[in-house]
Amino acid sequence: MAESSMIGSRIRERRVMSGLKQSDLARRAGISPSYLNLIEHNRRRIGGKTLIRLAEVLDVAPALLSEGAEATLVSALREAAARTETGGGPGAEADRAEEFAGRFPGWARLLAELSHQREELEGTVKALTDRLTHDPQLAASLHEVISTVTAIRSTASILADTKSLEPEWQSRFHRNLNEDSQRLAEGAEALMHYLEAAPDAQADIKSPQDELHAFLEENAFHFPALEGAGGAARIGAVIERAPKLETRTARHLARTVLEQYVRDARQLPIEALEEAVAEHGAEPDAIAAATGLDMPTVFRRMAMTAERVSGPVGLVICDGTGALLLRKPALGFAMPRAAAACALWPLFQLLAQPGAPLRLRLRQGETRVLALTATDSAAPAMFDRPALLRPHMLLLPDPGEAAGFVREVGVTCQVCPIEGCAARREPSLLEGGF
């Protein structure tokens, strides 16, 4: 049955709805009742003036009669059919979409809705693909959604494409479609919920490193509970009470940092640090010399204490690969959260010359700081393994011109405006260089 042949049925439906007799409608439209009767039973094709007059009398737009009230549904079905036949082969009977919509309006609406949902989800899936590798929970949710979408797509296309589908199969696939659409709705909801619950407004997926740093920032990198005798025994309680440490990995990372904190606090108790700063100023080398400690220990104590003791102090620690293990931004000096940092940071020079600490003024955008670097080893050198270096970079307020030359550095290439930089790894998003 071609689409236009349904016009009669729609005219009849409209007439009955407006309570008109066949003879009345015929008279007012200027045609004979028997002709209208033939039209209403889809036995005469009409168009042009007759259609327009009938539409006027029935007070509807002519298009509503010629295309049907379900025009949007029908076009949605056609779109669905067009989308699902990308691979060639026997297509859906797009020309019979109206008949399908007319006979099974509920199923047709479900199919159109699912197809629409599928399209939206496919978009979401594309946008999220690169996150898959970073988050197992997200990967599992998405996998569930994609599996369901696959089942729906395949099932819907069977329903749409298979000529003379046996009633048993038809009801079976309808049931599957219904089941899967429910699963899809639940899966999509779970996914939305998960993404909304993500750590911050940018809906970034949190890595354990992010959790660790959220925890450290919340405590301003300072843990009075771990100072003094018996600090090690209290680490567990500090971690227990930290809602920001959600994953086991993050708690493990926090334990490593806090164990170091306790060792440092034992070597340089808070009172001793206060005394040393009072005597030597915020000068790590002088404090190290006075206390007999190595410079990285002094760096960490200065950075991870109350601001009233040593003023605003930033700190970055990396490992031999240049991965940032700990970052405490301060004084407006920005540090990347996930991406690799700027190769011009003096921190990385220590990987080539671990024994040569640096003292250098840095300019990052409008920010100026004084950077001091020194290295310790996470493990000493052995014959079967080199020392595992841990370069540290302490950031102090810029003392001004007197301290000499300023090196211009960035945060990470993607957001760095420095032009013609020899250290650039990738183009900046800021330049519109793409």
Question: Using CB under 8 A as the criterion, which residues of the chain lie in contact with other proteins when the complex forms?
Answer: 84-90, 118, 122, 129, 132-133, 142-143, 146-147, 149-151, 153-155, 157-158, 161-162, 169, 172-173, 176, 179-180
In the complex, what is the shortest distance from the CB of residue 174 to other proteins, in angstroms, rounded to a whole number? 12
Nearer to other proteins, 172 or 425 (CB): 172
Rg (CA), the chain: 36
DSSP E strands in 221-358: the ranges are 314-318, 324-328
Write out the DSSP string of 326-358. EEE-BTTB---SSS---TTSGGGHHHH-TT---
Nearer to other proteins, 153 or 327 (CB): 153
Q: Give the angle 123-126-128 at the CA atoms, nearest 5°.
A: 110
Longest dimension (CA), the chain: 114
CA distance 89 to 217: 59
Q: Give the angle 175-177-181 at the CA atoms, nearest 5°.
A: 120
In the complex, what is the shortest distance from the CB of residue 84 to other proteins, in angstroms, rounded to a whole number? 6
In the complex, what is the shortest distance from the CB of residue 22 to other proteins, in angstroms, rounded to a whole number? 46
Q: Is 176 exposed, middle or buried (0-12, 13-18, 19+ CB in 10 A)?
A: middle
In the complex, what is the shortest distance from the CB of residue 120 to other proteins, in angstroms, rounded to a whole number? 13
In 3D, which of 335, 315, 338 has the Cα closest to residue 260? 315
Nearer to other proteins, 142 or 253 (CB): 142
In the complex, what is the shortest distance from the CB of residue 74 to other proteins, in angstroms, rounded to a whole number? 21
Nearer to other proteins, 174 or 359 (CB): 174
Reduce the DSSP state of residue 368 to 3 states and report it. Answer: strand
Nearer to other proteins, 146 or 389 (CB): 146
In the complex, what is the shortest distance from the CB of residue 414 to other proteins, in angstroms, rounded to a whole number? 21
Nearer to other proteins, 158 or 351 (CB): 158
In the complex, what is the shortest distance from the CB of residue 185 to other proteins, in angstroms, rounded to a whole number? 15
404 backbone φψ class: left, alpha, beta (φ>0; ψ -120 to 50): left
Q: Tell me the pairing of strands 314-318 and 388-397.
A: antiparallel
Nearer to other proteins, 141 or 349 (CB): 141
Nearer to other proteins, 163 or 308 (CB): 163
Q: Count of alpha carbons within 13 Å of 381, Cβ hemisphere only?
A: 3
In the complex, what is the shortest distance from the CB of residue 169 to other proteins, in angstroms, rounded to a whole number? 7
In the complex, what is the shortest distance from the CB of residue 106 to other proteins, in angstroms, rounded to a whole number? 20
* CB proximity list for 216: less than 8 A, separation 6 or greater: 254, 257, 326, 328
In the complex, what is the shortest distance from the CB of residue 413 to other proteins, in angstroms, rounded to a whole number? 23
User: Which residue in this structure is represented by tokens 């020309």?
Assistant: 95
Nearer to other proteins, 6 or 156 (CB): 156
In the complex, what is the shortest distance from the CB of residue 198 to other proteins, in angstroms, rounded to a whole number? 21
In 3D, which of 114, 104, 105, 84 has the Cα closest to residue 165? 104
Provide the 10 A C-beta neighbour count for residue 385.
Answer: 9
CA distance 396 to 360: 10
* CB proximity list for 342: less than 8 A, separation 6 or greater: 409, 410, 411, 412, 413, 416, 423
C-beta separation of 281 from 298 below 8 A: no
Nearer to other proteins, 136 or 355 (CB): 136
Nearer to other proteins, 92 or 235 (CB): 92
